[in-house]
């Protein structure tokens, strides 16, 4: 029985601990809520203060705008008043002159003369004030005229320098055109010599010919179909061409900027391989192969240029095998850089 009573008392004594814990938790929650409410209050006050400051700044900006508009209006009024004063001054001076003529022509009473003098004195005071304002305006106008004169002088000097520069440029352009024409004529002479030498070396072959200012070799002479690797039998042909170029290079003056342009062309049938995804790629690779071969034979690389036209510059239209064969070619042209 004693043991049962002890267990009962221990069970009943647990509840005060729970009550204290709950009370502490409640107080903590109340404290946090109080802190949150106070923080919200101060934050609201701070935001309200910023809104008031912003509104005050907006009012100040509006006031400044109004003052600026008022100042502009006053300036316009002053200008209008100056014009009116000039008109009034002219009228007063005319009236004064008429009064003097009338005073000399007829006898007037002393009272009337005194009144007229007072009016003239008042008008003279107004005239003096008007003249002071006019003098100030005249000074400002004079200053603006001096600035305008300085700007006109600077503009005139700039125009003079520009005319001198244009004349100098025109003179240099004329001299340059003459020099270029001379270089072109000189290069044309060497081009003619070059083509004549190649005709002698290569003979009259149907697959190697001259078209205008270009020397044309059919691709089949140099490359297998669809390839940019030179054939073994292409070596002798290119060697003869390299020899002719080497001999010519010794004769061309060092100051003549010449290049041998090697252009690759294909027919219109498309190609798409891992090595050549387009006809442009194939024509470029063939032109580069020829340029590299010529450089290997001693032609200075700075005088070699590789170009690629793909199928876009055909010599002959049509879809026949003959047209395709004529359009597949390597062209060489001696030109200026």
Do residue 193 and residue 329 come from a single domain? yes
Residue ending a domain, choose from 71, 100, 129: 100
pLDDT of residue 8: 52
Which regions in the chain score pLDDT beneath 70? 1-14, 50-51, 82, 89, 92, 99-100, 102-114, 171-207
pLDDT of residue 42: 80
pLDDT of residue 304: 97
Is residue 117 domain-resident?
no
pLDDT of residue 193: 67
3 state DSSP class of 255? coil
Q: For residue 30, what are the contacts with CB-CB under 8 A and spacing of at least 6?
A: none
Do residue 306 and residue 202 come from a single domain? yes
Residues recorded for the chain: 337
**In angstroms, rounded to a whole number, what is the distance separating the alpha carbons of residues 160 and 215?**
52
Is residue 141 domain-resident?
no
Is residue 119 domain-resident?
no
Do residue 319 and residue 204 come from a single domain? yes
Do residue 83 and residue 221 come from a single domain? no
Query: Are the CB atoms for 265 and 307 separated by under 8 Å?
Result: no
Do residue 198 and residue 89 come from a single domain? no
Burial class of residue 207 (count of CB atoms within 10 Å of its CB; 0-12, 13-18, 19+): middle
pLDDT of residue 105: 65
Is residue 233 domain-resident?
yes
**In angstroms, rounded to a whole number, what is the distance separating the alpha carbons of residues 264 and 52?**
78
What CATH number is associated with residue 281? 3.30.1330.60
Do residue 85 and residue 192 come from a single domain? no
Question: Rounded to two decimals, what is the model's pTM?
Answer: 0.46
pLDDT of residue 1: 47
Sign of CA dihedral 258, 259, 260, 261: negative
Is residue 243 domain-resident?
yes
pLDDT of residue 201: 57
140: tokens are: 């400002």
Is residue 208 domain-resident?
yes
- Helix ranges, the chain (H): 2-12, 15-105, 110-202, 219-222, 234-251, 279-296, 321-327
pLDDT of residue 316: 93
Residue ending a domain, choose from 100, 129, 164: 100
Q: How many domains does the chain have?
A: 2
**In angstroms, rounded to a whole number, what is the distance separating the alpha carbons of residues 197 and 61?**
88
Q: What are 165-185's pLDDT values in tens digits?
A: 777 777 666 666 655 555 556
Range of the domain at 73: 15-100
Residue ending a domain, choose from 100, 121, 156: 100
Q: Are strands 329-336 and 304-310 parallel, antiparallel or unpaired?
A: unpaired
3 state DSSP class of 84? helix
Is residue 298 domain-resident?
yes
Q: What are 41-58's pLDDT values in tens digits?
A: 887 777 777 667 777 777
Is residue 82 domain-resident?
yes
């Amino acid at each position: 029985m004693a043991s049962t009573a002890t267990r009962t008392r221990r069970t009943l004594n647990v509840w005060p601990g729970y009550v204290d814990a709950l009370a502490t938790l409640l107080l903590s929650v109340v404290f946090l809520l109080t802190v949150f409410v106070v923080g919200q209050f101060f934050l609201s006050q701070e935001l309200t203060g910023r809104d008031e400051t912003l509104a005050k700044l907006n009012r100040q900006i509006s006031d400044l705008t109004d003052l600026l508009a008022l100042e502009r209006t006053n300036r316009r009024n002053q200008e209008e008043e100056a014009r009116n004063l000039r008109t009034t001054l002219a009228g007063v001076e005319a009236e004064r002159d008429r009064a003097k003529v009338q005073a000399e022509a007829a006898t007037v009473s002393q009272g009337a003369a005194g009144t007229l003098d007072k009016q003239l004195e008042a008008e003279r005071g107004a005239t003096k004030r008007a003249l002071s304002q006019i003098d100030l305006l005249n000074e400002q106008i004079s200053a603006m005229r001096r600035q305008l004169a300085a700007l006109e002088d600077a503009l005139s000097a700039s125009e003079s320098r520009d005319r001198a520069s244009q004349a100098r440029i025109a003179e240099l352009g004329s001299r340059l055109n003459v020099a270029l024409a001379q270089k072109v004529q000189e290069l044309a002479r060497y081009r003619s010599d070059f083509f004549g030498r190649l005709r002698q070396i290569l003979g009259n072959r149907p697959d190697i010919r001259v078209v205008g200012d270009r020397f044309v070799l059919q691709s089949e002479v140099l490359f297998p179909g669809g390839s940019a690797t030179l054939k073994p039998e292409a070596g002798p042909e290119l060697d003869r061409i390299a020899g002719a170029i080497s001999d010519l290079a010794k004769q061309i003056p060092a100051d003549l900027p010449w290049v041998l342009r090697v252009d690759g062309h294909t027919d219109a049938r498309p190609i798409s391989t891992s090595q050549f995804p387009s006809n442009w790629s194939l024509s470029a690779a063939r032109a580069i192969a020829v340029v590299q071969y010529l450089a290997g034979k001693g032609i200075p690389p700075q005088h070699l240029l590789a170009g690629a036209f793909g199928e876009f510059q055909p010599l002959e239209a049509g879809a026949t095998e003959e047209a395709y064969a004529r359009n597949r070619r390597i062209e060489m042209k001696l030109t200026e850089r």
